Chain A
Amino acid sequence: MVPAMNKLPRPNICRRSIFILIVLSMIGGLLSCGRIDRSRSVIVWEQMDPQEQIFFDQHVAEFQLRHPEYADFTIERVHYRTEDLQTQFQTAALAYGGPNLVYGPADKIGPYSIMGLLMPVEELLPQSEIDRFDQVALPILDGHVWGLPDQIGNHLTLVANKGLVSEIATDTDTWIKQLAELTVDEDGDGRPEQYGLVFNLLEPFWLVPWLGGFGGWVMNDESWPTLDSPAMVGALTFLSDLKQSKVVPLECDYPLADTIFKEGRAAYIINGPWSWEGYRSAGIDIQVASIPLVSATGLWPSPMTSAKCYSINRYMDEATRQCTADLLKWLTGTEVQIALAKGLSVQPSDLLAGQDPGIVNDEVQLASREQIARGRLMPIVPEMRAVWDAMRPSYQSVMNGELSPEDAAPAMQKRATTMIERMRE
């Protein structure tokens, strides 16, 4: 015992009370830290591209101007990468928190709705608001609409650098010859200075159009994978041969493909509407076209199409309900969709916006619509996650030369079915 401590006076009741007060106020302070007043803020979590973010901010500013009744509301946009958005939203909604609206491709809506994190749109808005959309664009599962889209598409197309390509090939036989001519290795070091084609060779999203081009698809109507098919073998063989012919870079992920094309060192890129404005800004004169018809089958490649939607958090603060509803109507409304379509070359999901002459007569929009018509809607069921993850490793192994297409197709199927069974356990 420290002798000096013996001299300490006994704490009296007053001092003890002060201690208790301090402790309680600290605990209270800590607890209140976790409680944010959400009654006057409408929060939107998104995974928009930079260009989309600029448009969003402009449209929100316009909304606030037109709706003085929401002057005391703050509308906040929080950006996340695709995977982070999913993780954050799941975690927040689990604790009955999170944003009012969550924005992203419709494929995440399946899991969210099954987990009970979303409010069906019909609970927030009247049916007339839902009827104004192209019904193909609406994410419908179990009879409910789980989000409202501000655009449809999110699809891959062929984009040509008009400075390098005089005439866009329309079938794969012609195209492959053209790609070989457009791949230039001036110094003969094995690293071409110019490529015929660049695209993300790692992600199966870029494999899917070819799967369709060989007559296959990822799953059947019962949401069961259909990856072990001659069509998959055909698609994998086609892409593997493309790589072997060295008209594409040896290892090419999305950023690399994007950079090479922006530098004007690739004749073609396979990419979606989100990228076109970036290419124009980089000074590339682009032309959008459908991915060439597969000569061997006579079928058009069918990229996945999907809508980008605003979904409603079931656990949003009731006090923000009306403001959220009005904001949702505005952000997916005809006026905003026309602005988005003209500014970003995306396809409107609103029927009226789709009839705007500026959109109907636009050359890029026309090519984009043509590609959408040849595409297929991405299933929004949660099993799609297992299908993606099953395709990715085998697809990469084929492209690395470690696996033959004939072995890859059954491996994909087995992995997908195993994962789906595990998800359902």
Chain B
Amino acid sequence: MSARRTQNRLAFWFLLPSAVVLLGVVAYPFFFNVYISLTNWNMFHFRNPEIIGLTHYFRLFAEEDFYRIFGKTIAWTAINLVFHFTLGLGAALLLNRKLPGRNIYRALLILPWAMPQYISALTWRGMFNVEYGAVNLILGKIGIGAVPWFTNEFWAFMAPVITNIWLGFPFIMVIALGGLQSIPKELYEAARIDGAGPVRQFYSITLPMLKPVLLPALVLGTIWTFNNLNVMWLVTDQGLPADKTHILVTYVYKAAFQYYRYGYAAAFSVFIFLVLVFIVKGYNRAAREEAY
């Protein structure tokens, strides 16, 4: 019993520094944000905010823009995740085979992930220019007319989606590749002996064996994509066309740093946090059910 207490104490002292850091950089800002969301903190009450209760939360749900932007955020996250997952897994399956120049392909495919997001986003913005952008020039060469990337609401949404798919699939690819290399070859040999084809092997061996690594990657991918300010903000040049292309985080950024509506933006952030908690809970439940 005494040894157990000693061991616990030892663990306590080891954990204390990181616990203090976590309290400082996670817990304190979180609760401070909740506090701000309950105040009238804005430009005019910068040093003397007053508690106004849930006013900002009611205002949030009363605004028409909120539902449009929330819908766009869900679409943005879902489309990105589907493509990150399918392209990333597909590329990993290809690279897991014996291919000539495999290491070169691997390096090239990781490149988008290795590049600073900021640079990539601005480069893609230039590439989407209707007259001089590389994308429309290539489309023109194959007989497709110029796409109005930033003057049409649909295409203006697709431009950052394409950019983010390009930026994000290498992450899933790297994770999946690591997972694929740890699957014992014997399982495939046994499956082949039992007469299982490549598709059956994929669904019965590869996918279940990858789940433990892919599920956390998908959780992370969801959070990152949902909160991806850079790509949406920079590619659409703050919401082109006509301020129509926003997701929740770009809207919050604008409210906080362009309109100085700190209380309102904080309430919005709390809502984003709750949505993400809900999504992560869903993933966890799915993972638990799978485990049982």
Chain A positions near chain B (C-beta within 8 angstroms): 1, 5-6, 8, 10-11, 19, 23, 26-27, 30, 83, 86-87, 90, 94, 111, 114-117, 191, 202, 249-251, 253, 255-256, 382, 385-386, 389, 392-394, 396-397, 400, 402, 419, 422-425
Contact = CB atoms under 8 A, between A and B. Distances in A.
A393 B239 CA distance: 9
A227 to B, nearest CB: 15
Given A393-B242, A400-B241, A251 B260 contact: no
B46 interface: yes
Given A389-B243, A397-B242, A424-B44, 9 more contacts: A5-B6, A30-B21, A86-B257, A115-B43, A249-B132, A251-B150, A386-B259, A423-B42, A423-B261
B20 A396 contact: no
Nearest to B133: A251
Given A115-B46, A382-B260, A423-B42, A392 B242 contact: yes
A94 B139 CA distance: 49
Contacts of B47: 115-116
A382 B43 contact: yes
Contacts, number: 107
18 contacts: A5-B6, A6-B3, A8-B3, A23-B13, A23-B17, A26-B17, A83-B257, A111-B43, A114-B43, A202-B237, A250-B130, A251-B129, A386-B259, A400-B242, A402-B241, A423-B43, A423-B259, A423-B261
A251 B43 contact: no
A1 B46 contact: no
Contact of B16 (A6, A10, A23, A423): A23
Interface of B: 2-4, 6-7, 9-10, 13, 16-17, 20-21, 24, 40, 42-44, 46-47, 126, 129-132, 148, 150-152, 237, 239-244, 257-261, 264
A96 to B, nearest CB: 10
A111 B243 contact: no
A402 B242 contact: yes
Contact of A10 (B6, B43, B129): B6
B7 A8 contact: yes
A393 B243 contact: yes
Contacts of B257: 83, 86-87, 90
Nearest to B20: A27
Contacts of A386: 259
A397 B239 CA distance: 12
Instruction: Indicate the member of B3, B24, B242, B257 with the most A CB atoms within 10 Å.
Output: B242
A5 B260 contact: no
Contacts of B151: 251, 396, 400, 402
Contact of A251 (B2, B4, B9, B131): B131
A186 to B, nearest CB: 15
Contacts of B240: 202, 396
Question: 7 shortest A-B CB distances, which residue pairs?
Answer: A393-B242, A115-B46, A393-B243, A400-B151, A251-B130, A397-B242, A87-B257
A250 B21 CA distance: 52
B13 to A, nearest CB: 5
B259 A27 contact: no
Contact of B2 (A10, A382, A392): A10
Contacts of B4: 1, 5
A8 B6 contact: yes
Contacts of A8: 3, 6-7
A423 B255 CA distance: 9
A423 B42 CA distance: 7
A27 B3 contact: no
Nearest to A114: B43
B43 A393 contact: no
Contacts of B40: 425
A11 B12 CA distance: 14
Contact of A422 (B130, B241, B242, B261): B261
Contact of A27 (B9, B17, B243): B17
B260 A253 contact: no
Contacts of A116: 46-47
Contacts of A396: 151, 240-242
Nearest to A401: B151
Contacts of B24: 30
Nearest to B16: A23
Contacts of A419: 259
Given A23-B16, A30-B21, A1 B3 contact: yes
Nearest to B243: A393
A250 B131 contact: yes
Nearest to B126: A255
B42 A11 contact: no
A380 B291 CA distance: 61
A26 B16 CA distance: 10
B242 A394 contact: yes
B17 A11 contact: no
